[in-house]
Structure 1
């Protein structure tokens, strides 16, 4: 009995079917990885900017405009423009005395900073970062 090898034409559609099954899963994995990486990157950049803004806010004689300018300088070139909240539990942060805490909180919707346009994985996520330091303002 003679065994004939499988001819190539009998399996010509198998590769196309396998690709049709695997490609959507592979693309979803790759795009999800890009989205998650961007989420982590934006979070890290906001934390750095919040810390820089807070370092400015605790100094004597600083204004809200100076704090926002420092935050914008820290985020220059990133394409991120967060909303900024500066607060102190002991009243207005502009006239609290040392060692009262001052908190700078930044937030941005992830859909505004996603690299893939309309995010499919984190569409309703808001990235938030804050920093709290003690005021250095003397009475």
Structure 2
């Protein structure tokens, strides 16, 4: 019974972490597609959202890296990756260790309409 309780806590935390990473990727991408936004703005928003959920170790990838060079309607991609063992609330993650999750969002770049 105790193992089932621990497993349900860990799987619940894993599902929560997946939702946090997905939302952080969406919010970061929404900022990335805006005119005059920078990679620092995107990373700041992502850091705030992910750290508020207690996830300390993750990687962020923004494509294109130089958002100013992206032309209107070109795709902007934000990816956030984290290992489940780094997200666990348990001291020793047994059930989800070795697995990682990557959340991503792709939106078209906004800009001025060409005249």
- Identify the TM-score tier after normalising by the shorter chain: 0.7 to 0.9
Runs of 4+ off more than 3 Å: 91-94
Q: Which structure has the larger Rg over C-alpha atoms?
A: 1
Provide, for residues 69-98 of structure 1, a one-character-per-residue CA deviation record: whole Å limited to 9, x for no partner. Answer: 11122234222132100114xx85441112
TM-score when scaled to structure 2? Answer: 0.88
**Paired position in structure 2 for 1:13:** none
Aligned to 2:59: 83
Aligned partner of 1:97 among 53, 60, 71: 71
1:68 aligns with 2:46: no
* Equivalent position SS for 1:75: helix
Match of 2:89 in 1: 115
Question: Residue 55 in 1 paired to residue 35 in 2?
Answer: no
Q: Distance in 1 between matches of 2:10 and 2:4?
A: 10
Equivalenced residues, count: 112
Tell me which residue corresponds to 1:3: none
Structure 1: give runs of 5+ residues left out of the alignment. Answer: 1-25
Q: Contact conserved, 1:96 with 1:137, CA < 8 A, in 2?
A: no
Give the equivalent residue in structure 2 for 1:44.
19
TM-score, with structure 1 as normaliser: 0.73
Unmatched 5+ stretches in structure 2: none
Q: Which has the higher contact order (CA 8 A, sep 6+)?
A: 2
